[in-house]
Amino acid sequence: MLDIINWLFLQIKILFNILKFLGPAIPMTIKITILSFALSLFLGLFVGIARISKRRFFSFLSKIYVDLIRGVPLLVQIFFIYFGLGKILNLDRFLAGVLAVGICYSAYLAEIFRAGIQAIPRGQFEAALSLGMTPYQTLRHIILPQSFRIVIPPVANEFIASLKDSSLVSIIGLRELTRAGREYYSTYFVDFHTWLLVGLIYLVMTLSLSRVVSWTEKKFKVHGYGVM
Amino acid sequence: MNTSSIIEAKELVKKFGGQKAVDGVSLSVQKGEVIVILGPSGSGKSTLLRCLNGLERFDSGEVVIDGEKMDHGHKAIHQVRKKIGMVFQQFNLFPHLNVLKNLTLAQEVVLNRDKDRAERKASELLSKVGLTDKKDSFPAQLSGGEQQRVAIARALSLNPSIMMFDEPTSALDPEMIGEVLGVMKELAKEGMTMLVVTHEIGFAREVADRIVFMDEGKIVEKGSADQILNRPKNQRTREFLSNVL
Q: What is the distance between the alpha carbons of residues B150 and B147, in angstroms, rounded to a whole number?
A: 5
Residue B81 near chain A (CB below 8 Å): yes
CA B203 from chain centre, in angstroms, equals 14
Task: Report the residue of B52, B81, B82, B92 to disrupt the A interface, i.e. the one with the largest count of A CBs within 10 Å.
Answer: B92
CA distances, B5 to each of A199, B28, B30, B36 (Å)? 74, 6, 5, 17
Q: What is the distance between the alpha carbons of residues A82 and A172, in angstroms, rounded to a whole number?
A: 7
The CA-based angle B74-B80-B84, given to 5 degrees, is 150
Q: What is the distance between the alpha carbons of residues B163 and B91, in angstroms, rounded to a whole number?
A: 14
**Exposure of A92 in the CB half-sphere (CA atoms within 13 A):** 4
Superfamily of domain A21-120+128-219: MetI-like (1.10.3720.10)
Beta carbons of A225 and B96 less than 8 Å apart: yes
Rg for chain B, CA atoms, rounded: 18
The CA-based angle A86-A92-A94, given to 5 degrees, is 115
Give the containing element (helix H, strand E) for A169: none
Q: What is the distance between the alpha carbons of residues A112 and B191, in angstroms, rounded to a whole number?
A: 48
Give the containing element (helix H, strand E) for B206: helix B201-207
Domain residue ranges of chain A, discontinuous segments joined by +:
21-120+128-219
Residues of chain A contacting B105 with CB distance shorter than 8 Å: 141
Look at the alpha carbons of B156, B161, B164, B168 in this order and tell me if their dihedral is positive or negative.
positive
Beta carbons of B110 and A226 less than 8 Å apart: no
Tell me which residue in B88, B110, B138 faces A132 most closely, judged by beta carbons: B110
- pLDDT digits (tens), chain B, 245 positions: 455 789 999 999 999 988 999 999 999 999 999 999 999 999 999 999 999 998 999 999 999 998 888 877 666 688 888 899 999 999 999 999 999 999 999 999 999 999 999 999 999 999 999 999 999 999 999 999 999 999 999 999 999 999 999 999 988 888 889 999 999 999 999 999 999 999 889 999 999 999 999 999 999 999 999 999 999 999 999 999 988 77
- pLDDT digits (tens), chain A, 228 positions: 788 999 999 999 999 999 999 999 999 999 999 999 999 999 999 999 999 998 999 999 999 999 999 999 999 999 999 999 988 998 999 999 999 999 999 999 999 999 999 999 999 999 999 999 999 999 999 999 999 989 999 999 999 999 999 999 999 988 999 999 999 999 989 899 999 999 999 999 999 999 998 888 888 876 655 443
Residues of chain A contacting B141 with CB distance shorter than 8 Å: 223-224
Q: Are B154 and B94 in contact (CB under 8 A)?
A: no
Beta carbons of B81 and A127 less than 8 Å apart: no
Q: Are B137 and B102 in contact (CB under 8 A)?
A: no
This model of the complex carries an ipTM of 0.90
What backbone torsions phi and psi does residue B155 show, to the nearest 5 degrees?
A: -65, -30
CA distance B215 to chain A (A): 25
Residues of chain B contacting A132 with CB distance shorter than 8 Å: 78-79, 81-82, 106, 110, 158
CA distance B155 to chain A (A): 7
